[in-house]
Structure 1
Amino acid sequence: METEKIISELEFKAVRSSGAGGQNVNKVSSKVVLSFDLKNSQALSEEEKALLETKLFSRLTSEQILILNCDEDRSQLKNKAIVIKRFLDIITAGLVVPKIRKATKVPKSVIRKRIKDKMNLSEIKKSRRKPDY
């Protein structure tokens, strides 16, 4: 994955933001909406696209477009930087392939210890019972 190539494929749109800014909110478009077309991306291989499609299924639109918003700051540039960082974090986390779990055999010593502990507990409980004459 090349970050520069992916960033060049991003589309940004500035929208009027809700939130902090007072009267400034009504005049300035500080909210940044990022959209990334996963299906038509040239920066990702087909395997990477398939992996991201399965991992980001709930975040993608029906046209395989990832949309992220940011209106945390009053500055459009800061919001753009925040949304790019968030996007890169999502993509890198989505491309991580989990390690395959290998089933291991339980050692015989562990089995012996468990049975010994069970017998010991059984003896303790037996000794607590009332003796039968």
Structure 2
Amino acid sequence: MAISILPNISLADSELEVTYILASGPGGQNVNKVATAAQLRFDAAYSASLPDRVRARLLELAGSRATRDGVIVITARRFRTQQRNREDAIERLAALIREAAHRPAFRVATRPSRAARQRRLQGKAHRARIKQGRTVRLDD
């Protein structure tokens, strides 16, 4: 079964490796006995499902969650059950891939016009005069 991320991107279940580890947090005594935290590993560097542009940006966005080999590791321990933590980890990976696939808008750097700079300086001078009028001068 494939996990649909975007209309043009989906991941095969075989690309995801989920292991369960002991978790801290909610669960009472159960948390000491049952491995409920899900640790998801996704080899982004060699995934055939991702376009090159998305792969590069994904590894950049993953930051410390990515190993040197390009494997993204996500640990989910928010919930008390393995199934909910597994779903949470997959959803977090999907959100990260969606963010990586989003193309930021191209921005052209601009500079303030001469009139805008002049207005800014006039406003500063006006404010300075107002504040200057508030000072109490003591004649010596």
Partners of 1:79 and 1:119 in 2: CA distance: 59
Name the aligned partner's letter for residue 11 of structure 2. Answer: I
- 5 Å-filtered alignment, 1:47-66, equals 47-66=53-72
Deviates more, 1:87-96 or 1:33-42: 87-96
Give the CA deviation at 1:84: 1.3
C-alpha contact (below 8 Å) 1:56/1:94 kept by paired residues: no
For 1:86, the equivalent position in structure 2 comes to: 92
Q: What residue in structure 1 maps to residue 47 of structure 2?
A: 41
3-state SS in 2 of match to 1:78? helix
1:106 to 94, 107, 112: 112
Report the 3-state secondary structure (helix = DSSP H, G, I; strand = E; otherwise coil) of the residue aligned with 1:44.
Answer: coil
Range that drifts further, 74-83 or 46-55: 46-55
Q: Give ranges in structure 1 of 5+ residues lacking alignment.
A: 126-133
CA distance in 1, matches of 2:92, 2:19: 16
- What does 1:13-52 correspond to in 2, within 5 Å? 13-52=19-58
DSSP 3-state at the match of 1:6: strand
Q: Give the equivalent residue in structure 1 for 2:11.
A: 6
% identical aligned pairs? 29
- Secondary structure of 2:11's counterpart equals helix
Deviation by residue 1:52-101 (Cα, 9 ceiling, x = unmatched): 22332432101111101112221111111111111111221223232222
Segments of 5+ residues of structure 2 without an aligned counterpart are 133-140
- Structure 1 residues 22 and 6, CA, compared in 2 at 3 Å: closer, same or farther? same
Q: How many residues align?
A: 125
Query: What's the secondary structure of 2:46's corresponding residue?
Result: coil
SS of the equivalent of 1:5 reads strand
Q: Secondary structure at the match of 2:74?
A: strand
Could you tell which deviates more after superposition, 22-31 or 85-94? 22-31
**Alpha-carbon RMSD:** 3.0
Structure number, greater radius of gyration? 1
1:123–1:57 Cα change, 3 Å: closer
Local SS of the residue matching 1:29: coil
TM-score normalized by the length of structure 1? 0.72
